[in-house]
Copies of this chain bind each other. A is one copy, B any other.
Amino acid sequence: MSERANVVRVKRKVEGAVSAADFEIAAKDLAPLADGDVLVRNLFVSVDPYMRLPLTGRAGVKAPIGIGSEMSGAAVGIVEQSRSPRLAAGDTVMGQSGWCDRAVVSAAALQKLNVDGIEPSWYLGILGLSGITAYAGIEEVIQPTALETLFVSSAAGAVGVLAAQLAKLRGARVIGSAGSDEKCRWLVGEVGLDAAVNYRSEDLGAFLARECPNGLDCYFDNVGGTTLDAALRALRPRGRIGLCGAMSQYNDDNYRAGPSEFFTVIEKGLTITGFNAGMYGAKAAAFLPTLAAHLKAGKLIWHEVTFEGIANVPDAFASLFDGRSIGKVIVRL
């Protein structure tokens, strides 16, 4: 008898704001294990903004995925059965097993996790994509100094909140934007940002002008769109931007388009550097112990919002875009 699994599939063409109703949960038979495979039972599934991209009609690094397709993504799980000498039943592993509760995966594509004093879910955030992205953006790309002001958009999101704190550890002055007063209070009161703005209720340009009367030095961009335009207007000559996402543009089919104020790059002699976690495969091994040490030493605040059960993965995903969640959104199965 085949092993069974529950998976999340795309139910319909996603138009505009993504919602839980765009997906459905389906049961399916798993393929039998081939040599080298393991059967993994997922403990935690990650939802991340970039997963919106293949749901648009515009191909990028990943091709668009169609109706009926299963959603991919990182998950942490326990090996239930193994036909590989690399992994044994009971091992905790991470891999791209997708939005599902169980999966048959090649052991070679899984990373065995050390869970001694480390929450397994951290590997989907601060010790995973979010941590690598934030660390690379601050320490490799932007490198803000103690004399500079850094603006972080989506500062209460998983990547933004780490970027903001890493910049504070370098001594920079850090200001951020978020989508609610509650998030802004948390950012200034708990996380330690120097100022935060609720972009839904206050004019971002006015905020940046007030906080940076001599011009903004650098900008960590998660969101693109009108926020990137506001930052371009606020940056000082030779200012710099690290660019790792354009989340505000993902809910439409025009996410690839550049900012309206792009010409400012020439006028002010700005530098824009794009980056993503995938570029730092080898270096990430060096980043993560630093992040783990900061976390254990209490130098970094890391906040997770946990949804429960495979049926709630789609809603967890939608919460990334409607601004409900603070920090990293995760689903516990």
Binding site for B on A (CB under 8 A): 60-61, 237-238, 243-246, 255-276, 279
The answer to whether A271 and B268 touch (CB under 8 A), given A258-B258, A259-B262, is no
Complex alpha-carbon distance, A61 and B262, angstroms: 13
Complex alpha-carbon distance, A268 and B269, angstroms: 21
Contacts of A238 in B (CB 8 A): 279
B271 and A266 form a contact (CB under 8 A): no
A274 and B270 form a contact (CB under 8 A): yes
Contacts of A274 in B (CB 8 A): 264-271
B258 and A269 form a contact (CB under 8 A): no
Taking the full assembly, how many copies of this chain does it contain? 2
A263 and B256 form a contact (CB under 8 A): yes
B256 and A261 form a contact (CB under 8 A): yes
Nearest CB in chain B: distance from A196 CB, A: 24
Complex alpha-carbon distance, A256 and B265, angstroms: 10
Contacts of A244 in B (CB 8 A): 266
Query: Could you pull out 23 A-B pairs where Cβ atoms are within 8 angstroms?
Result: A238-B279, A245-B266, A246-B263, A246-B266, A256-B261, A256-B263, A256-B264, A257-B260, A257-B263, A258-B258, A258-B259, A259-B262, A262-B262, A265-B272, A265-B274, A266-B275, A269-B273, A269-B274, A270-B274, A271-B271, A271-B272, A271-B274, A272-B273
Nearest CB in chain B: distance from A310 CB, A: 30
The answer to whether A60 and B263 touch (CB under 8 A), given A269-B273, A271-B273, is yes
Nearest neighbor of A266 in chain B, beta-carbon distance: B274
* Best-surrounded residue of A257, A258, A259, A267 (most CB of chain B within 10 A): A258
Complex alpha-carbon distance, A274 and B237, angstroms: 10
Nearest neighbor of A262 in chain B, beta-carbon distance: B258
Nearest CB in chain B: distance from A246 CB, A: 6
CB < 8 Å: which of B237, B258, B263, B275 contacts A279? Answer: B237
Complex alpha-carbon distance, A74 and B78, angstroms: 71
